[in-house]
């Protein structure tokens, strides 16, 4: 189902006129995406959608650049001999109790095993004398950038779960930017099992929002 189809479904169910009712399709889409993200995070934590490969988005050519580790805001990484930071942030990811929804990472620079790590684990592992051959530590920062420690890896391919599929081409260095494709023809990311729940949750959110507006202006008098 495309963005156009899913937003039209919500509008039809609410029997809203997007002009007279001052309802923005983009606003509806954002509520739909937020609702899908919430429900997908629950199911991801339960491992019940892990095999629905159509939900995941492939991001080729996600590029990194070397930065000065001494200027890094993450204390644990300041002593890195090599510190690579992604040139662009990732699209907004779905997070669950299991962590981020980055499903797979493949390097174009070599046959590496990527291991996600936090600051404390990295600090402990640095003290180990030995490490697994070809194991590379990777970190997802609060800025939504990826960091790679001690390996000058310049490009990776990712498979992630994001409800913001329209942002994927902004993050890749080899996806040709679409000039003619409409945003509204983008495929909406949601499990078929959750689609009705997402629509219902969105309608509830819109009803609450409309009620708040009406309560703030009980006589339809705009504020000064």
The model's pLDDT over 174-213, given as tens digits with 9 standing for 90+, comes to 877 655 678 999 999 999 999 999 999 999 998 876 654 5
pTM metric for this prediction = 0.84
pLDDT in the model for residue 164: 96
pLDDT in the model for residue 222: 43
pLDDT in the model for residue 223: 42
pLDDT in the model for residue 186: 94
Is the model's pLDDT at 220 over the cut of 60?
A: no
CB 160 within 8 A of CB 84: no
User: For the residues 162-172, what does the mean pLDDT come to?
Assistant: 93
Joined together, the tokens standing for residue 6 give 């899913």
User: For the residues 139-156, what does the mean pLDDT come to?
Assistant: 93
Of 116-120, 121-125, 155-159, minimum mean pLDDT range? 121-125
DSSP secondary structure of the chain:
-BHHHHHHHHHHHHT--TTTT---HHHHHHHHHHHHHHHHHHHHHTTSSTT-GGG-EEEEEEEEEE--GGG-S-GGGTT-SSEEEESSPPPPBPEETTEE-EEEEEESSS--EEEE--HHHHHHHHT-S---TTEEEEEE-TTS-EEEESS---EEEEEE-BS-GGGHHHH-SSSPPPSS--GGGSBP---GGGHHHHHHHHHHHHHHHHHHHHHH-TTSPPP-
Binned at pLDDT 50, 70 and 90, residue 216 comes out as low
CA 43 to chain centroid, in Å, comes to 16
The pairing of strands 135-140 and 113-116 is parallel
Q: CA-CA distance, 128 to 161, in Å (whole number)?
A: 33
Of 32-41, 115-124, 162-171, minimum mean pLDDT range? 115-124
CA 88 to chain centroid, in Å, comes to 13
User: For the residues 141-165, what does the mean pLDDT come to?
Assistant: 94
pLDDT in the model for residue 166: 93
Binned at pLDDT 50, 70 and 90, residue 18 comes out as very low
Of 103-112, 122-131, 143-152, 161-170, minimum mean pLDDT range? 122-131
Binned at pLDDT 50, 70 and 90, residue 108 comes out as confident
User: For the residues 120-142, what does the mean pLDDT come to?
Assistant: 76
Q: CA-CA distance, 198 to 35, in Å (whole number)?
A: 5
pLDDT in the model for residue 134: 76
CA 6 to chain centroid, in Å, comes to 19
């Amino acid at each position: 189902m495309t963005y156009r189809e899913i937003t039209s479904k919500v509008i039809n169910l609410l029997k809203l006129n997007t002009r007279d009712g001052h309802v923005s399709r983009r606003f509806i889409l954002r509520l739909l995406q937020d609702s899908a993200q919430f429900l997908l995070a629950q199911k991801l934590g339960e491992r019940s959608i892990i095999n629905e490969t159509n939900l995941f988005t492939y991001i080729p050519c996600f590029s990194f650049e070397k930065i000065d580790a001494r200027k890094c805001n993450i204390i644990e990484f300041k002593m890195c001999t090599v510190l690579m930071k992604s040139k662009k942030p990732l699209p907004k990811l779905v997070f669950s109790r299991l962590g981020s929804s980055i499903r797979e990472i493949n390097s174009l620079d070599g046959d590496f095993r990527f291991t996600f790590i936090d600051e404390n684990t990295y600090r402990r592992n640095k003290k180990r004398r030995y490490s697994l051959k070809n194991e590379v530590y990777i970190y997802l920062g609060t800025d939504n950038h990826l960091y790679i420690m001690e390996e000058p890896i310049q490009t990776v391919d990712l498979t992630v779960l994001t409800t913001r599929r329209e942002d994927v081409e902004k993050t890749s260095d080899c996806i040709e930017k679409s000039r003619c494709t409409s945003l509204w023809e983008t495929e909406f990311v949601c499990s078929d099992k959750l689609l009705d729940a997402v629509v219902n949750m969105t309608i509830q959110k819109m009803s609450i929002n409309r009620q708040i507006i009406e309560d703030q202006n009980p006589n339809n008098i705009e504020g000064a």
